[in-house]
Amino acid sequence: MFKHILVPVDGSHTSMLAVSKAAGLAKAFGSAVTAVYVIDPYPFTGVGADFAYGQAQYLSAATSEANAALDAVKQAMQEAGVEVTAIVGEGHAVHEGVVRALESTGADLIVMGSHGRRGLEKLMLGSVAQRVLSAVHVPVMVVRE
């Protein structure tokens, strides 16, 4: 039914629940799986003279965090007997990076975790899952705790 599953991750427990769900679906349907961790490559645009130094430190830390999260995904998928491709995506907003990854992989399903934020927290931090839902034309399975 689904040929390619995209799993956006952020290293959280909730995203790992989505990884587990995606692994089960991939086994059931024989789907390819791509995991993506999105970083903002230019979070300090226009900050000043210290921009280059701060940028290098940020990118190093963000890439390290992304690789750690993707390593956990690879381990979980391997334990489930599922092959996975892991990529680090870029976007000024996470949902933009997810949409780019969807377009580049040709995935036909997104399985992603949602932290379930409500009220002021949702207003301040937003909902990546909600933004992805409004931006794509493929099914999105939202996994919550």
Query: Residue 123: is its pLDDT beyond 50?
Result: no
Summarize the confidence of residues 113-126 as an average pLDDT. Answer: 57
Give me the percent of the chain exceeding a pLDDT of 70. Answer: 83
Residue 40 pLDDT: 83
Q: How far apart are CA 59 and CA 56, in angstroms?
A: 5
The DSSP H or E segment spanning 111 is strand 109-113
Q: pLDDT tens-digit profile of 44-73?
A: 655 555 555 577 788 888 899 999 999 999
* Higher pLDDT, residue 21 or 47: 21
Whole-model pTM: value is 0.87
Lowest mean pLDDT among 8-17, 65-74, 79-88, 123-132: 123-132
> Across-strand partners of 34?
6, 85
Residue 126 pLDDT: 53
Q: How far apart are CA 48 and CA 44, in angstroms?
A: 9
Residue 125 pLDDT: 41
| Strands of 32-39's sheet in order across | 85-90, 32-39, 4-8, 109-113, 140-143
Q: How confident is the model at residue 77 (pLDDT cuts 50, 70, 90)?
A: very high
